[in-house]
Amino acid sequence: MSEALLRVDNLSVRYGLARAVDELSIQVAEGEAVFVVGPNGAGKTTLLRAISGLVPPAVGDISLDSESLTGKRPWEIVAAGVSHVPQNRHCFGPLSVEENLLMGGYRRAKHELKAALASVYDVFPALVEKRKQRAQELSGGQQQMVAIGRALMGNARLIMLDEPSLGLAPTLVESLRRTLCRIRDELGTAVLLVEQNVDLALSVGTRGYMLRTGRLFAEGGPEDLRGELRKGYLGGAD
């Protein structure tokens, strides 16, 4: 693996007395797609929330390109180059598609926004005809496009996605897979993907981590971890 863009070192996060993440270390290289899998309660969402500055670590350090993010505010972490696509999309329902996208580019200079929008519409051409429609009127798959497009508008070096396939039909999951691979391969943006859909995770990520009760259970390439899954972890997924 090339030099790490994101480093999470010995991270622990507590909710009261409960330790949601326990001495966890992961890395993501520039332009790499990394997946994180594990059962409910494994600490996957907490990991992303800690990287985004939404929950404070009890111990450990998080850094982007050797600059520590620990203790920074969420908007400072966005400014450093990290975008977070949360569960359930969290689009601004009353705003139009294009207004949602522009919210993601709020830190960019005005003269950059037109090109940024064009780039997002190139990735998601289905949004072009929907650009004036309110986000709350879109389907779940279309809202997911808006949420990912909004993250791309920020010119992020790393995009983190939390369960992006949740509630999507199989045909839309395949479309999502192609989009994430395109972000990885064509845009060169690093991807950290938390996903319960194991087939999606293994097809997008070149390397990954399995968590269990907040701790690292296994790590390796897709085929290495597929073997672990066959042993019955996560219900015997194949």
Question: Over the stretch 89-106, which tens digit does the pLDDT of each residue have?
Answer: 889 999 999 999 999 998
Quick one: DSSP state of residue 90? -
- Residue-wise DSSP of 114-180: HHHHHHHHHH-GGGTTTTTSBGGGS-HHHHHHHHHHHHHHTT-SEEEEESTTTT--HHHHHHHHHHH
pLDDT in the model for residue 72: 96
pLDDT in the model for residue 224: 86
Where does the pLDDT of residue 237 fall: very low under 50, low under 70, confident under 90, or very high at 90 and above? Answer: very low
Where does the pLDDT of residue 213 fall: very low under 50, low under 70, confident under 90, or very high at 90 and above? Answer: very high
Where does the pLDDT of residue 2 fall: very low under 50, low under 70, confident under 90, or very high at 90 and above? Answer: low
Placement of tokens 């939404």 in the chain: 54
**pTM higher than the cut 0.75:** yes
Of all residues in the chain, the percent with pLDDT exceeding 70 is 95
Distances from the Cα of 7 to the Cα of 62, 97, 196, angstroms: 6, 33, 23
pLDDT in the model for residue 21: 97
Per-residue pLDDT tens over the stretch 61-72? 999 999 999 999
Quick one: DSSP state of residue 95? S
pLDDT in the model for residue 238: 38
Cα(115)–Cα(75) distance, integer angstroms: 23
Q: What is the mean pLDDT of the chain?
A: 91
Per-residue pLDDT tens over the stretch 149-192? 999 998 899 999 999 998 888 999 999 999 999 999 999 999 99
User: Is residue 39 predicted with pLDDT exceeding 90?
Assistant: no
User: Is residue 141 predicted with pLDDT exceeding 80?
Assistant: yes
Q: Which has more confidence, 196 or 32?
A: 32
